[in-house]
Amino acid sequence: MARQLRVEFEGAFYHVTSRGNLKERIFFNDRDREKFLEILERTKERYSYLLHAYALMDNHYHLLIETPKANLSQIMQNINTSYTVYINRKYRRAGHLFQGRFKGIIVDKDRYLVTLSRYIHLNPVRAKIVHKPQEYKWTSYSAYIDRTLRSSLVDTADTLSYFSDKIGKAIKRYKAFVEEDIIEGENPFKDVEVGIVLGGKELKTKILELLGQKKADEELPQIKRLRENVAIDKIISTCCMFFGRTWEELLKRGKGKSERQIVIYLSKVLSGRKNVEVGKYFGIKGSTVSEVMKAVEMRMREDETYRSEIAKVKELIIEK
């Protein structure tokens, strides 16, 4: 299984989930949930993160976390390890409690803070455990709607500020906002890109800038798929100008074999299209596209001038 891309920077905002191994339970009774909240309190003090919302279900949990110190992996390793040790000791068991590493989606806070807060607080309703979110004890919803139950664990200020600068009015409006979606059940994760990003172009650009120092052969598939796809027609047109060739010369077998291979290579890399789709442009099979990719990549490793030429035409295509 491919590694999940981890993007960490100061002020990053995440929706985090972790599920039980083989989808089995991670919370067996209320005391287990209390212990998990104690661990959240301790790690929050130690690592200085903000917790905007949480929901503890039977076999998984949801956290809405903001990291002023760019330390999400450290936070989550401590949380999951500490809780696993507790469960294994208490129930005299051994092995993994969680199904692999946690899943962290990096989120555009301005766009999705209130939507994800609502989504998390409605988890028990969607699971048909309760009819209304306030009936479930193990989410942060009560900290939002009941001022007497607010604690240092949950940071409610940013979310409530979207509704009013007056706390009483903000609570009332937030409650209405959450409960109006009980029937509809909006799913904000339909907009997630490559399984790791929930946000607009600005957030994607920031992530790509942070990852810009990675070598191409070290990139995870998610990074490659984050890049803006380029139309094949644009790639071919730019290559025609760069190499001084006509469309016919680049699309058909014959003259300019080296340039034609470069165009096929860039069409695959920059368009995000499947081999078969790229092949149709050049009158070749998808398997032939794969062979061309290997040939170009091998020559790039051996020929610095060739590699530099491809980099120049690639930069020209992206800039146009």
Same structural domain, 168 and 126: yes
- Same domain as 108, residue 238: no
- The pLDDT score that the predictor gives to residue 229 is 72
Pair 311, 182 in one domain: no
Q: Is residue 219 part of a domain?
A: no
Do residue 239 and residue 125 come from a single domain? no
The edge-to-edge listing of strands for the beta sheet with 50-56 is: 50-56, 60-67, 12-19, 103-107, 197-198
Q: Which domain holds residue 178?
A: 12-206
> In this predicted model, what pLDDT tens digit does every residue of 99-139 receive, in sequence order?
988 999 999 999 999 999 999 999 999 999 999 999 999 99
**Do 141 and 234 share a domain, yes or no?**
no
Which residue has tokens 């025609």?
240
Say if residue 136 is exposed, middle or buried (CB neighbours under 10 Å; 0-12, 13-18, 19+): buried
Q: Which residues of 45-71 are buried (b: 16+ CB within 10 A; e: fewer)?
A: eebebbbbbbbbbbebbbbbbbbeeeb
Distance in angstroms (rounded) separating the CA atoms of residues 80 and 242: 53
pLDDT in tens, 247-272: 888 887 765 688 999 999 999 888 87
Q: The domain that contains 280 carries what CATH number?
A: 1.10.1750.10
Does this model's pTM top 0.85? My answer is no
CATH classification of the domain holding 59: 3.30.70.1290
Angle between helices 304-319 and 232-243 (to 10 degrees): 120
Q: Are residues 202 and 238 in the same domain?
A: no
Looking at 174, 206, 238, the residue that finishes a domain is 206
The SS3 of residue 55 is strand
Q: In this structure, are 68 and 182 located in the same domain?
A: yes
Residue of 9 and 123 predicted with greater confidence: 123
Q: Does residue 4 sit within a domain?
A: no
Higher-confidence position of 282 and 207: 282
Number of structural domains (the chain) is: 2
In a domain, 1, yes or no: no
Q: Is residue 3 part of a domain?
A: no
Q: CA-CA distance, 216 to 219, in Å (whole number)?
A: 5
CA angle in degrees (0–180, nearest 5) for 32-186-8: 60
Q: Residue 318 in contact with residue 208, Cβ under 8 Å?
A: no
Q: Is residue 220 part of a domain?
A: no
Residue pair 253/262 in contact by the 8 Å Cβ criterion: no
Per residue in 51-72, pLDDT tens?
A: 999 999 999 999 999 999 999 9
* Pair of tokens at residue 20: 């039980």
The mean pLDDT value of the chain amounts to: 87
